[in-house]
Amino acid sequence: MNISFDFKKTMRTIICFLMAMVIASSQNVAFGEHAKKDQGAIEFTDKELEWIREHKESKIRIGVAQDYVPVEYIDSNGIQRGLGSGMLKKISEETGLEFELYYNNENETWEEILQSMWAGRIDLLPLVSYTEERSRYLQFSKPYTEFTQVVVSRKEKKCFISDLSRLTEGVFAVPRGYWFLDLIKSQNPAIDIVEVKSMKEALEYVSKGRADYTICEIPVYTYYKEQGIYDGIRIVGEFKEKNKAAMATSKEFEGMIPIINKVIENLNYDEIYENALVFPVDSTSGARLRMTVIFLSMALLATFYFLYHTFEKLVNAKQQAEEASDEKSKFMSGIAHDLRTPIAIIMGYSEMINGKKAKTQSDIERYISKIYEKAEGLSSLIEEIFMASRLEDNRFEFQMEDTSINELVSDVAEDLGFKAAEKGIEIQVKLVEGADAVRKVDRVEFRRAIENIVTNAIKYSEEGDVIQIRTIKRSDGRILIHVKDEGLGISEIDIGHIFERYYRGENRNSESVGLGLYITKEIIQRHGGDIWVESKCGIGSIFYVAI
């Protein structure tokens, strides 16, 4: 297959890589000193040390959900993977305690694992959500991670769901024993529920129309979606409250809870979290894969650096130093979650190719296409960050030239027509002759602004939708560019904020950091123009640009 080579983007990535090497080298020294300082630094009480000594001679039995990939699962070799695995390793390093997988784990559903825990066949659950029902027979540690919960449905569902209590119809597929069964019942007792064996089966029910909705964490949805197993599903809602996960022991092992809590308090969260988005494949040619991962990780680190640099200037400009620390931490945490997803996908498909897991040449070409698509997305992200930084610092000089607005709009529609056609979307263009005026604009950057608007229209439209692009000559002499779509629409809460830097609304794209429309607005306003939007959720949006 043919893949075009973009010299500009390649050079930008190499520059980021070199910068990241410098940053990483300085940070590695500091981290190394920190690690040496913290190693063995946890101080256990005499009672806790006595409990550890009493349980060192025997292995502690653990129970694990098998199919909550990539958060928690059993791989093809019968080995536990995911967040809980990293936590157990850390506890073992600090205490010398040993763990083993419950002997019948691979044959039991999550509901049966919970029953085995209640019956005393299992001592510890490494990753579990708190419910009142479970607290009757489990002792919970402090939560050590949290996940965004999303509602998943079929593609034809247009509007996002933010409140289950407002649903008047529909069937939810829920794996037996999963915590959000209680959530659904508490928020809307009238909702019909069909219980299934696993998360994979719940997604299959939705994909095949046997159920209307299910709920899962974003990493789980991303994994199954990227495998191409369930092409007909999409995210249609997101809960504001996070699912906080902890460890839990049987009542007989409750003496272990204070020990676990101390490990959590001294936890290097990033070190543990990396296990949450690892694809379940076996590596047979790790050297090439490691080089790929190192290169992409360095580019990601450079991205973080520029994000932090830009955001820090914004906070200082508003003179909110005391509030900035929490705000920056939350922002960077959110960005980290979003950027890990394409990196994990690239790693997964690279493993499939390098490990010779692809069965046909067609599979290999599809995997390479996926890798290129995600890498291109990361490159575009870096471009957006550079652009936002230059605009903020007033370091961007526009190269103004006489440009036909109708010609520019026509070129954008023609170039993006192929992308729209791939999704089964039609672009209709109507250019009013009176609007064919010449304006002094930076042709490249003004085109970028219009492309951003049309690209968003394509992104949030579905097969069979129509996008209308028009130019109109206003009575005041200005030219109005009008882009109308039939997509998801924008909620009333979001519509007043979508042009703000780093703002991401309910209907956001999962890999967006909220810079596209901010850059679009800045470009248009610096040309003396205006931009605004009208939208209704579930009906579509109309973006207007006056120049």
Mean pLDDT over 189-212 rounds to 90
- Identify the CA nearest to 87 among candidates 242, 218, 246: 246
- Residue 11 above 60 pLDDT? no
- Residue 507 above 60 pLDDT? no
Is the same domain home to 105 and 156?
Answer: no
216: its two tokens: 């899962």
Higher pLDDT, residue 17 or 243: 243
Is the same domain home to 523 and 419?
Answer: yes
- Residue 279 above 60 pLDDT? no
* CATH number, position 422: 3.30.565.10
* CATH number, position 176: 3.40.190.10
C-beta atoms surrounding 157 within 10 Å: 21
pLDDT of residue 61: 96
Is the same domain home to 521 and 429?
Answer: yes
- Residue 63 above 90 pLDDT? yes
Is the same domain home to 307 and 350?
Answer: yes
Is the same domain home to 355 and 461?
Answer: no
- Residue 79 above 50 pLDDT? yes
- Identify the CA nearest to 547 among candidates 453, 421, 463, 458: 453
Is the same domain home to 55 and 26?
Answer: no
Higher pLDDT, residue 521 or 232: 521
Is the same domain home to 465 and 327?
Answer: no
- Residue 412 above 80 pLDDT? yes
Mean pLDDT over 294-308 rounds to 62
Whole-number CA gyration radius for the chain? 26
Is the same domain home to 404 and 493?
Answer: yes
| pLDDT range class, residue 120, cuts 50, 70, 90 | very high
**Residue 138 counted as domain residue:** no
**Residue 466 counted as domain residue:** yes
- pTM score, two decimals? 0.49
| Residue 306 CB burial class (10 angstroms; 0-12, 13-18, ≥19) | middle
| Residue 210 CB burial class (10 angstroms; 0-12, 13-18, ≥19) | middle
In the numeric block, the tokens 């002094």 are attached to: 440
3-class secondary structure, 234 = strand
| pLDDT range class, residue 138, cuts 50, 70, 90 | very high
**Residue 347 counted as domain residue:** yes
pLDDT of residue 2: 42
Of 363, 392, 421, which residue is a domain's last? 392
**Residue 2 counted as domain residue:** no
- Total structural domains within the chain: 4
Enclosing domain of residue 224: 149-241
**Residue 276 counted as domain residue:** no
Mean pLDDT over 153-176 rounds to 79
Of 392, 419, 444, which residue is a domain's last? 392
Is the same domain home to 450 and 525?
Answer: yes
491: its two tokens: 């909620």
Is the same domain home to 409 and 451?
Answer: yes
Of 345, 362, 392, which residue is a domain's last? 392
**Residue 273 counted as domain residue:** no
* Pairwise CA distance, residues 172 & 215, whole Å: 8
pLDDT of residue 537: 84
Is the same domain home to 433 and 480?
Answer: yes
pLDDT of residue 443: 86
**Residue 84 counted as domain residue:** yes
pLDDT of residue 18: 40
Q: What are phi and psi of 403, to 5 degrees?
A: -140, 135
Is the same domain home to 92 and 12?
Answer: no
Higher pLDDT, residue 463 or 390: 463
* Pairwise CA distance, residues 123 & 121, whole Å: 7
**Residue 99 counted as domain residue:** yes
